[in-house]
Amino acid sequence: MLLLAAVLLSVGCREKGIRTEYGTRTGYGARSVNGTTVLGQMFEDAGHRVRSWRLMSPSLAKADVIVYFPSESQPLSTDAVAWLDDWLRYSYDDDTYELQEKTLIVVGRAYSAEEFYWRETQPRAPAGLKTEYAAKLRKAQLDGPLGSGTGGKGTVGDWYDLTAPGTTSKVTTLTGPWSIGVDASKAAIEQSGTVFPNKSLDVLLADGAGHPLVSELIYSEDDEWSSDGSSVLVIENGSFLLNASVVNHEHRKLAGRVVDYAGAPEKDVVFLESDASPTISDTDPNQNPPTGFELFRIWPIGAVLAQAAALGIVFALAQFPIFGVPRRLERPALTDFSKHVTALSRLLSATRDRAFASGLVRKYFTERRQ
């Protein structure tokens, strides 16, 4: 037990520090500096209903706003783009059959708030941990914006082109309508020239060199069947939207703009938590309590059940072979006189003649006495 405790203790020690999971709003990743919990909370506080989803399924199609932080810097799959384009253009209200306006917010992956956190906390590092803080910063800088991932390049629908992240640089000047009231010198927005919006998109925010940081595309009515007013917001990266980024006041102003972009309150805002190739499904996963074998796939019930099953298999194996000397079946007693009486009475009853039977018995006893 002591050994086990020591092992658990040593494992627990590794929890010190910060979590860095990217783009998650719930679960363990909610505490991550790269999470989207705070942005989701801002949406909620603005009066929207917020939830997270992992599939492109009917449940996601019901959303009014999809906030998509792909977990890898790869072009979205063709199927995913087609699904989103279809959702933006041809979403109908189930009751009124009227076209609905949808909003898609896509945020590029080429940023990690880990370096930002360690850089900001260097001056406040506890005494005795300054070296560790410096080492953490160095490691975050070495890992770069994608951590252990690699960046791909390609075209994402009619929206933007994606390239592998170049050298990351701090944005010192902001231009565009969204730059009003934002002091770039106090912000820590970064860009690595990864997302290049299509020329048809309107730039809402750009750096001093004109590289778009936030762009929008408002869909116009192509035909009578398509939506007029759906929009796509393409954001270079999450350097002003991720959990740790929102600590900066200038970033909050831009995050507020993004939340405001969703429109009037009570929208169904869904954070799509997936890689660049989300699974597309015609049905939603079953939300009912899992039964049978499905329970094995749920942590920690699965772990407990697996051990119970293993114990059950061991027990079954222990029962299966015949261990030890086989038992002997008891032989029928040959000296039990009552069996003779029973057999005789069965024979007599087979005659179905009570008088005959009793007469025979009487005769037996009479002759025996003589």
Partner 1 sequence: MTGSPTLRLCGCARLRFCALLLVALSAGVAGADDLTEPDVAIEAGKEALSEQWDLPWYDDQSDDFAPVNLPKPKKRSKPWPIWDWFDGLFSGFGWNFGDVLIFLLWIVVAGLLLWLIVAMIRAYQETEQVAAATAAEEFDAKAHLQRVEALPVTLAEKVDNYLQAARDAYDSGDLSKAIVYLFSHELLELDRAARLRLVKGKTNRQYLSELRRGVGPSPRLADILARTVRLFEAAFFGAHPPTREAFEDCWQEATEFERLLAVEEATA
- Which spans of this chain sit near partner 1 (rule: CB under 8 A)? 3-4, 6-7, 10-11, 13-14, 16-18, 30-31, 33, 37-39, 41-42, 45-47, 117, 120-121, 124-126, 128-129, 131-133, 136, 181-182, 243-244, 246-247, 249, 251-257, 259-260, 265, 314, 318, 323-328, 330-331, 333-335
Nearest approach in angstroms of CB 347 to partner 1 is 20
Q: Which is nearer to partner 1, 263 or 290 (CB)?
A: 263
Q: Which residues pair with 107 in a beta bridge?
A: 235
Report residue 275 as tokens: 């890689």
Q: Which is nearer to partner 1, 89 or 267 (CB)?
A: 267
CA dist., res. 66 & res. 268, Å (int): 9
Provide CB contacts within 8 A for 187, sequence distance 6+. 171, 174, 240, 248, 250, 251, 254
Nearest approach in angstroms of CB 117 to partner 1 is 6
Q: Which is nearer to partner 1, 121 or 155 (CB)?
A: 121
Residues 157-196 as b/e (b if ≥16 CB within 10 A, e otherwise) read bebbebbebeebeebeebbbebbeebebeebbbbbbbbbb
Nearest approach in angstroms of CB 20 to partner 1 is 11
Q: Which is nearer to partner 1, 121 or 226 (CB)?
A: 121
Nearest approach in angstroms of CB 82 to partner 1 is 32
Nearest approach in angstroms of CB 243 to partner 1 is 7
CA dist., res. 164 & res. 153, Å (int): 6
CA dist., res. 222 & res. 235, Å (int): 25
Q: Which is nearer to partner 1, 328 or 346 (CB)?
A: 328
Nearest approach in angstroms of CB 319 to partner 1 is 9
Nearest approach in angstroms of CB 241 to partner 1 is 11
Q: Which is nearer to partner 1, 69 or 83 (CB)?
A: 69
Question: Are 182 and 174 within 8 A, CB to CB?
Answer: yes
Q: Which is nearer to partner 1, 281 or 342 (CB)?
A: 342
HSE-CB at 359 with a 13 A cutoff on CA atoms is 5
Nearest approach in angstroms of CB 69 to partner 1 is 16
HSE-CB at 77 with a 13 A cutoff on CA atoms is 11
Closest CA to 17 of 146, 142, 125: 125
Residue 87 CA: distances (Å) to CA of 67, 91, 155:
14, 5, 19
- Identify the burial level of 133 via C-beta atoms within 10 angstroms of its C-beta, where 0-12 means exposed, 13-18 middle and 19 or more buried: middle
Report residue 198 as tokens: 């299509």
CA dist., res. 237 & res. 337, Å (int): 99
Q: Which is nearer to partner 1, 52 or 243 (CB)?
A: 243
Nearest approach in angstroms of CB 270 to partner 1 is 18
Report residue 2 as tokens: 């002591």
Report the amino acid identity of residue 295.
L
Q: Which is nearer to partner 1, 83 or 116 (CB)?
A: 116
CB atoms within 10 A of CB 70: 24
Q: Which is nearer to partner 1, 201 or 241 (CB)?
A: 241
Report the amino acid identity of residue 213.
L
Nearest approach in angstroms of CB 136 to partner 1 is 7
